[in-house]
Amino acid sequence: MQRKFRLSRSEDFKRVRLTGKSYAHPLVVLVTQTSATSTKVHVGVAASKSTGNAVHRNRTKRLLREAMRPMLPSLASGWDLILIARPKLVTATLEDTRLALTSLLQRAQLLPADES
């Protein structure tokens, strides 16, 4: 995922976590909030220590970014998203992650239902 699509400021993470709407899946949690400043989609990725050691946390974040990358052009614009890795994501494949994200984005009505 390109840097211009990343949510990186801690104030933005806090705003989205506090006022956003969350959608849960066994592999990942999606938190959505309309963007305060931009018409683009910005995505932040997080993994807590419950996910595992640093190697596992970094792997899950890379996996989420890569799974999200091809979906960015088809997402509704003007949203800030946070993807929070859950412990089961450590053993998941890229395809499992893409299916989980597709499901969550469709539930949040950010991705058309016919996308895969």
Q: pTM here?
A: 0.90
**57-77: per-residue pLDDT in tens?**
999 999 999 999 999 989 888
**Residue 3 binned pLDDT confidence (cut-offs 50, 70, 90):** confident
Contacts of 9 (CB under 8 A, 6+ apart): none
* Residue 52, pLDDT above cutoff 70: yes
**Residue 24 binned pLDDT confidence (cut-offs 50, 70, 90):** very high
3-state SS, one letter per residue, for the chain: CCHHHECCCHHHHHHHHHHCEEEECCCEEEEEEECCCCCCCEEEEEECHHHCCHHHHHHHHHHHHHHHHHHHHHCCCCEEEEEEECHHHHHCCHHHHHHHHHHHHHHCCCCCCCCC
